[in-house]
Amino acid sequence: MDLTGLTGTNAYCDKAAAAELRKVVREENIELVRFIGSGNYHYLSCFFLEQVKEPCSLVICDHHTDMLPARFPELLSCGCWVKRALDECPNIREVLIVGVREDLICAIEKKYRSRVFCYSDKRIGGSDDWMPFALSHVHYPAYLSLDKDVFTTAAVDTNWDQGSLTLEQFQKITSCLFNRQTVLGVDICGENPRADQKKNNDFNRILLRYLEDENKPLSMAV
C-alpha cells in the first residue's frame, strides 16, 4: 500500500486520514503478514482489526502498552490505539501484551483489566511459564501485532526504547500461539530509517521466514 501522499498520519492520525485509511484497508485481505513501517504508525492495526468478523484474541508483542489516554480525543495515535480498539471493536474479547515494560502495566485503566493481560519483559527473562499463561488467556482465534521495539537492541534497532526479548523467546511464544489457535493476521512495525538497514532487513527476513513456516495459510504483504 503506497500511502506516502497521505498527510495527518505521523504518530497521530486525524479524522480525514483515518477515513482514507479505512477505504484502503476495506479492500485488503485480513489474512496477511504486513509490515506497516515505523512504530509511529502502529495505530494502523486498529483499522485491520475493524475487519475481523469473529470473536478474537489480540496478541501484541510490544515494549509499551499503547493504552495511554488520548491526549487529543479526536486523534488516533500510536500510544492509544489498543485502548481505542477495545472501545470500538466488539469482536476483540481479550488482549495479551507480551514483553511490555513492567512500570507501564499499572497505568492501564481499571475498567480494562478484566480483558487485558500482560506478560512483562521481566517475566519473560525470569520464568518459563508462558505456555500456561497463554492457555489461560487465549481462547479465540488470534490476531498478532508485533512492534519490534520489544526486542533487544542486539537483535534490531528501532526508534523507541527497547525491551529484552530475543528471537528465540519470540519463536517459543508464537509457536505456542500458532499451534493452538488459528491466526487471523499479523502486522509488524518498528522500522527505523536511521538504523543499519542491512541489519534490520536481515531481521525482517528471519521474521518472515519463521512466520511463513509456522502458519502456512498466511500470505506475505510488505
Residue 211 reports pLDDT greater than 90: no
pLDDT band at 126 (very low <50, low <70, confident <90, very high): low
Rounded average pLDDT over 174-198: 90
What ranges do the domains of the chain cover? 29-221
Residue 222 reports pLDDT greater than 50: no
CATH code reported for the domain at 29-221 = 3.40.800.10
Nearest to 211 by CA among 61, 65, 94, 20: 61
Cα gap 49→92, rounded to integer Å? 8
Cα gap 47→22, rounded to integer Å? 6
3-state secondary structure of 22: helix
Q: The whole model's pTM is what?
A: 0.91
Q: What is the pLDDT of residues 43-97, one digit of tens each?
A: 999 999 999 999 999 999 999 999 998 888 889 999 999 999 999 999 999 999 9
36 alpha carbon, distance to own chain's centre: 10
- Residue that has been written with the C-alpha cell 486523534 in this structure: 75
Q: Identify the residue with better confidence: 31 or 160.
A: 160
